Amino acid sequence: MNGAQHILDTFHRHSIQTVFGYPGGCIMPLYDALVDDVRVEHVLCRHEQACALAADGYARASGELGVCIATSGPGATNLITGVANAHRDSIPMLVITGQVPSGLIGTDAFQETDVLGMTLGIVKHSYLIGNANELPAILEEAMALAQSGRPGPVWIDIPKDVLLAGTTPTPMRQSTPQDHSCPNLSGALAMLRAAKKPLLYSGGGISLAHAEKNFREFAQCSGLPAVVTLKGIGNAGKHSAYNLGMLGMHGSRAANRAVDECDLLLVIGARLDDRATGKLDGFAPNARTIHIDADAAEFNKLRDADLALRGDLNAILSGLSAALQEAPLAISEWQKQCQTSRTTGGFQAADNEEPLAPITGPAFIRQLSRVTPDDTVIACDVGQHQMWVAQQYQFDHPRHHLTSGGLGTMGFGLPAAIGAQFANRQSTVINVTGDGSFMMNAQELATIRRYNLPLKLIIMDNQCLGMVRQQQELFYSNRESQIDLNDNPDFVAMARAFDIPALKIERTDQIRRGVETILAYNGPMLLHVAIAREENVWPVVQPGGSNTDMIDETRRTPADNKEQVA
């Protein structure tokens, strides 16, 4: 067995059935081996960035390892954004690239780039294979590493000669066993019991740890009012009584207010990102902090924790639940206060009653949320539409909401949706995108067609880079600069050119029909939704500002104050 065949064999042994890749010179031995291997489905995307983002979407939706493959040089550099995206959101991913033959490394050979050096900051770990016999052990180690502890992308760069050489496996390296230990919880319980206004703050770490079930049990039996980060949306489920929604820059008033008032912040699986906390000085000013995470390097990074607990989130959450079930917390006043605050300060978008009125972003997403099946996966892009999804769509599970959190990668949504559809072949998968973001990976319409994926695409077209326009309006004196997209292509015609049916809606009374039509269609379909250019995401906190200084629509600058710059 040569190195390339060994890789496919390893995939098979680890039940990896789907990989996303793009061939080229130095990775050709692997593509040659694929010809004779029916066990692995190779999905050919149309750009390596999309391969990485599809592998990312696959991993997010399934909770399993995503795999992407590319050639050396431009293949590897094209992967970088997708791998960085996975790194920032701690997504388990295996990246395999071909490299120029060992003897040519360092000679500026054709399609040689220093992949190892170039990617150090965007991987959990990386390897350059020096010898074919190392390959088996490194592959095993890389796959385990990508999925253990705090997950992340692991990159293996393999010279072409290594892919061709016979492998005689060397002994496997000793891997560190997964840490399932539970730290002592008495300190945390004492702090919880002493608090009058404790608040649960959870993030993407819950689903990364596969701790959704234990989290929900804990949220329920503790009765803690709760806020979530962008990546934590869905943690509490649709019907949680005390969930105040997303906090932060575009968070709900109720969530940001609760953080401001609480006297104990219980942070679980979250890293206190600046988009969530706003200005740190003003963040949860009255609260002591308990920080629970799988990664000790998150403790005291941005805010000192009064108590930091590292360990397996499942073990910790079930330990806490057991203790609280025996003796519940007495926080009914605080619960009541938060529930009231939720009714007045939650995300409210009035449904537009006027049938001929133009469609507004939030109202559209609300309607979408009502019509879609419960197991629908929504893969967002980046911008205003992403925030409207975060605010208005009712998610019942964090793996149903795929969003580029840490990196904020425009172009994420379409390939991520492709990955998610391969992970959940029977589920409804919808890419909600913007007119700007869609064009960043629009070539993937060809992938959808090729594999006949029943994906639904919704373009929320405001004819501009809306999120940037909004910030220019609010924080740069209305000076619009390079955000105009009024020369967008005809998206319906574009989809049809890829043999994907499409339709356009622009009035409120067309929303329901439009959504139902694409959902009912047996195959891929695109819905082009024209929305107003001037719409903003509310509320908003100025970048670098404090979450208590939320701006809402009433403080909008009048439109006639607008100065056109570009």
Partner 1 sequence: MSTQSHPQQTPSYTLTCRMSHEAAALERLCQVVRIRGFRIAKMAVESVLEGTDETLDIALTIQGARPVAVLQSQLEKLHTVAEVKLASPALAHAASRIA
Which spans of this chain sit near partner 1 (rule: CB under 8 A)? 116-117, 120-121, 124-128, 130, 145, 295-297, 299-301
Query: How many Cβ atoms from other residues are within 10 Å of residue 20's Cβ?
Result: 30
The answer to whether the CB of 383 falls within 8 A of the CB of 411 is: no
Partner whose binding site includes residue 286, from partner 1, Mg ion, ligand TPP, none (CB under 5 to 8 Å by kind) = none
Alpha-carbon distance values, 155 to 12, 64, 85, 214, 348 (Å): 19, 16, 14, 32, 43
Minimum CB separation of residue 407 from Mg ion in Å reads 19
The answer to whether the CB of 543 falls within 8 A of the CB of 249 is: yes
Q: Which of residues 235-274 bind ligand TPP (CB under 6 A)?
A: none
CB under 5 A: which stretch of 14-22, 125-133, 190-198, 431-439 binds Mg ion? Answer: 431-439
Give dist(CA 23, CA 75) in Å, integer: 8
Give dist(CA 44, CA 24) in Å, integer: 12
Alpha-carbon distance values, 468 to 205, 358, 559 (Å): 29, 22, 16
The answer to whether the CB of 511 falls within 8 A of the CB of 458 is: no
226-228 vs 243-246, strand pairing mode: parallel
Element (H, E) at 153: strand 153-159
Member of 136, 434, 454, 539 binding Mg ion (CB under 5 A): 434
Give dist(CA 530, CA 461) in Å, integer: 5
Q: Which residues pair with 456 in a beta bridge?
A: 430, 525
Amino acid (1-letter code) at residue 52:
A
Size of the site for Mg ion (CB under 5 A): 5
Minimum CB separation of residue 350 from partner 1 in Å reads 44
Give dist(CA 536, CA 517) in Å, integer: 28
Q: Which residue has the tokens 């997708």?
A: 82
Asked if 392 interacts with ligand TPP (CB under 6 A), we say no
What angle separates helix 361-371 from helix 511-520, to the nearest 10 degrees? 40
Asked if 381 interacts with ligand TPP (CB under 6 A), we say yes
337 given a catalytic annotation: no
Residue closer to Mg ion (CB basis): 393 or 491: 491
Minimum CB separation of residue 398 from ligand TPP in Å reads 22
Q: Which residue has the tokens 């649960």?
A: 200
Minimum CB separation of residue 115 from partner 1 in Å reads 10
Asked if 197 interacts with ligand TPP (CB under 6 A), we say no
Asked if 510 interacts with Mg ion (CB under 5 A), we say no
Asked if 385 interacts with ligand TPP (CB under 6 A), we say yes
Residue closer to ligand TPP (CB basis): 80 or 455: 80
467 given a catalytic annotation: yes
Residue closer to ligand TPP (CB basis): 94 or 382: 382
Partner whose binding site includes residue 447, from partner 1, Mg ion, ligand TPP, none (CB under 5 to 8 Å by kind) = none
197 given a catalytic annotation: no
Asked if 466 interacts with Mg ion (CB under 5 A), we say yes
Q: Which residues contact 3 (CB under 8 A, 6 or more apart)?
A: 29, 129, 132, 135, 158, 162, 163, 164, 165, 167
| Marked catalytic residue, from 439, 467, 494, 550 | 467
**Of 479, 461, 489, 471, nearest to 566 (Cα)?**
479
Asked if 411 interacts with Mg ion (CB under 5 A), we say no
Instruction: Provide Rg for the chain, Cα atoms.
Output: 24
Residue closer to ligand TPP (CB basis): 415 or 466: 466
307-310 vs 377-380, strand pairing mode: unpaired
| Marked catalytic residue, from 5, 11, 20, 48 | 48
| Marked catalytic residue, from 28, 41, 111, 279 | 111
Member of 149, 278, 466, 514 binding ligand TPP (CB under 6 A): 466
Residue closer to Mg ion (CB basis): 71 or 462: 462
Asked if 383 interacts with ligand TPP (CB under 6 A), we say yes
Rounded to 5 degrees, φ, ψ at 210 are 55, 40
**Of 49, 48, 83, 62, nearest to 17 (Cα)?**
62
Residue closer to partner 1 (CB basis): 130 or 285: 130
Partner whose binding site includes residue 116, from partner 1, ligand TPP, Mg ion, none (CB under 5 to 8 Å by kind) = partner 1
111 given a catalytic annotation: yes
Member of 434, 454, 514, 524 binding ligand TPP (CB under 6 A): 434
Minimum CB separation of residue 49 from ligand TPP in Å reads 10
Q: Which residues contact 37 (CB under 8 A, 6 or more apart)?
A: 5, 8, 12
Minimum CB separation of residue 562 from ligand TPP in Å reads 17
Minimum CB separation of residue 166 from ligand TPP in Å reads 42
Minimum CB separation of residue 163 from partner 1 in Å reads 17
Element (H, E) at 116: helix 115-118
Minimum CB separation of residue 537 from ligand TPP in Å reads 8
Size of the site for ligand TPP (CB under 6 A): 20
Asked if 47 interacts with ligand TPP (CB under 6 A), we say no
Member of 314, 462, 470, 488 binding Mg ion (CB under 5 A): 462
Query: How many Cβ atoms from other residues are within 10 Å of residue 395's Cβ?
Result: 22
- Give the per-residue contact string, 405-424, with ligand TPP (x = CB under 6 A; - = no): ---xxxx-------------
Give dist(CA 467, CA 539) in Å, integer: 13
Member of 437, 441, 472, 508 binding ligand TPP (CB under 6 A): 437
Rounded to 5 degrees, φ, ψ at 57 are -65, -35
CB under 5 A: which stretch of 263-271, 342-350, 428-436, 439-447 binds Mg ion? Answer: 428-436
191 given a catalytic annotation: no
CA angle at 154 for the pair 202 and 399, rounded to the nearest 5°: 35
Member of 136, 405, 419, 436 binding ligand TPP (CB under 6 A): 436
Contacts with Mg ion by CB under 5 A lie at: 434-436, 462, 466
Cite the active site residues: 48, 110-111, 160, 467
